[in-house]
């Protein structure tokens, strides 16, 4: 493309960024110029300064995407990150949705750059803004969700990830986006020690429809086993809606973790520790050793919790013996931590070293608890209404009806008439 041609494209962008009709016409022209813009990517930086990203969003996006797709431009432009951040902050959401694949490409170039520079924290706020502008509603999962969560993980800004993890997602375009979103979401909740939420995220990965086993599901199942043990002391059976692919193959790809769960079930600390030592390198290479240590710690807690179901009072020495702890001091530290975490209700008499176990003091009649129950009921009602709507929409979907029609045997009415009525 000659210099005049690039100038002509810029002139079109400046002149056709007003009404919806103008922008639609501009979109058509820009699509015809894509290859030419890419071939002149190195020269587009200067032209970007002639455009206002808040006014000329669509045109600016096409130029910026072509420019950012060139590795040389990304490396040599010291303002590369800044220019993308400014565009994300000021661009028109309405116009970027006309070319979502271009916007996603720019954001992914931005994500790759902050990771290359090892400054993932700089990408968190811009990418969150990008997600909100790309989404038609908060119920939509975009391919940028997993990129955002990855940056939160790398920067160890786990709480920042909750801003999108707390959304209820109902619209998914690509299965891989869902797998990564739930997998990274599980890791973020593990980082925050929100094990129940982590379990839910990982559960969504392993029970999602799949015809072939994928690496994300395998890694998710490893963490799912560990989180399940920490939460309840056991790994639940696969629910019926889990794909046959997952049910047949996941355990064989995660044998050290299955062995760990079996050792945990015996309740013997020495056996569990031996299993960990046997598979130590595997747990380390999977970056799961921290979680495995939490599993080990939870065995002590589980043994202490069993005591609360049998005894009203017990000495710290007795607790240490029953829970396989070395000293009464260790037992005291575990009991105090469990009291603080709300896992047991107890008091410790420092004079005689006796622990008294109590019932749950919650009477479920405080204003705060009533508000919590009321909000939970309203949320469940809203979810029920949404699920009903989705079910109705799916039951009318031609692709779904065709699939069901092929799978269900046709009813033979002639055969029905031949059945003796005494059997009906």
pLDDT confidence band for 158 (50 / 70 / 90): very high
Question: Sheet holding 354-357: strands in order across?
Answer: 313-315, 354-357, 346-349
Instruction: Check residue 69 and give its pLDDT.
Output: 86
pLDDT of 4 > 80? The answer is: no
Instruction: Check residue 407 and give its pLDDT.
Output: 63
pLDDT tens, position by position, 74-120: 777 778 899 999 999 999 999 999 999 999 999 999 999 999 999 99
Instruction: Check residue 331 and give its pLDDT.
Output: 92
Phi, psi of 317, deg, nearest 5: -65, -40
pLDDT tens, position by position, 58-70: 999 999 999 998 8
**Average pLDDT, integer, range 24-41:** 89
- CB atoms under 10 Å from CB of 293, counted, come to 13
Residues 296-308 as b/e (b if ≥16 CB within 10 A, e otherwise) read bebbbbbbbbebb
pLDDT tens, position by position, 319-329: 999 988 889 99
Question: What is the signed CA dihedral for 236, 238, 240, 246, rounded to 10 degrees?
Answer: 170
292 contact partners, CB below 8 Å, separation of at least 6: 226, 260, 276, 283
pLDDT confidence band for 414 (50 / 70 / 90): low
Domains of the chain, start order: 311-374 (1.10.10.10)
Instruction: Check residue 46 and give its pLDDT.
Output: 83
């Amino acid at each position: 493309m000659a210099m005049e041609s690039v100038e002509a494209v810029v002139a079109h962008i400046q002149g056709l960024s007003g009404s919806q009709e103008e922008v639609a016409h501009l979109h058509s022209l820009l699509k015809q110029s894509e290859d030419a813009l890419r071939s002149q990517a190195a020269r587009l930086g200067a032209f970007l300064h002639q455009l206002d990203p808040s006014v000329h969003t669509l045109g600016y996006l096409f130029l910026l995407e072509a420019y950012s797709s060139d590795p040389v431009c990304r490396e040599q432009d010291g303002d590369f990150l800044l220019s993308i951040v400014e565009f994300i902050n000021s661009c028109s959401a309405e116009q970027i949705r006309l070319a979502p694949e271009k916007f996603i490409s720019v954001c992914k170039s931005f994500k790759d750059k902050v990771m290359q520079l090892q400054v993932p924290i700089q990408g968190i706020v811009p990418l969150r803004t990008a997600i909100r502008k790309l989404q038609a509603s908060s119920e939509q999962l975009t391919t940028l969700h997993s990129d955002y969560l990855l940056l939160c993980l790398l920067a160890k800004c786990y709480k920042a990830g909750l801003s999108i993890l707390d959304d209820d997602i109902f619209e998914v375009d690509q299965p891989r986006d869902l797998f990564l979103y739930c997998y990274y979401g599980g890791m973020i909740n593990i980082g925050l020690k929100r094990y129940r939420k982590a379990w839910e995220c990982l559960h969504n990965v392993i029970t999602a429809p799949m015809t072939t086993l994928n690496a994300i599901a395998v890694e998710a199942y490893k963490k799912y086993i560990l989180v399940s043990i920490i939460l309840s002391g056991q790994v639940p059976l696969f629910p019926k809606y889990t794909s046959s692919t997952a049910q047949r193959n996941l355990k064989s790809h995660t044998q050290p973790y299955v062995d760990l769960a079996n050792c945990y079930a015996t309740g013997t600390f020495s056996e569990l520790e031996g299993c960990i030592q046997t598979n130590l390198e595997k747990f380390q290479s999977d970056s799961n050793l921290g979680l495995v240590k939490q599993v080990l710690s939870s065995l002590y807690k589980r043994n202490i919790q069993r005591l609360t179901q049998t005894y009203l009072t017990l000495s710290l020495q007795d607790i240490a013996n029953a829970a396989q702890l070395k000293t009464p001091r260790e037992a005291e530290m575990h009991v105090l931590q469990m009291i603080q975490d709300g896992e047991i209700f107890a008091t410790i008499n420092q004079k005689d070293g006796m622990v008294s176990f109590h019932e749950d003091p919650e009477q479920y009649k405080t204003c705060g608890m009533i508000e919590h129950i009321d909000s939970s009921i309203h949320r469940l009602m809203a979810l029920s209404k949404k699920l009903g709507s989705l079910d109705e929409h799916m039951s009318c979907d031609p692709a779904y009806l065709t699939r069901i029609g092929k799978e269900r045997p046709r009813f033979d009415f002639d055969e029905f008439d031949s059945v003796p009525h005494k059997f009906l």
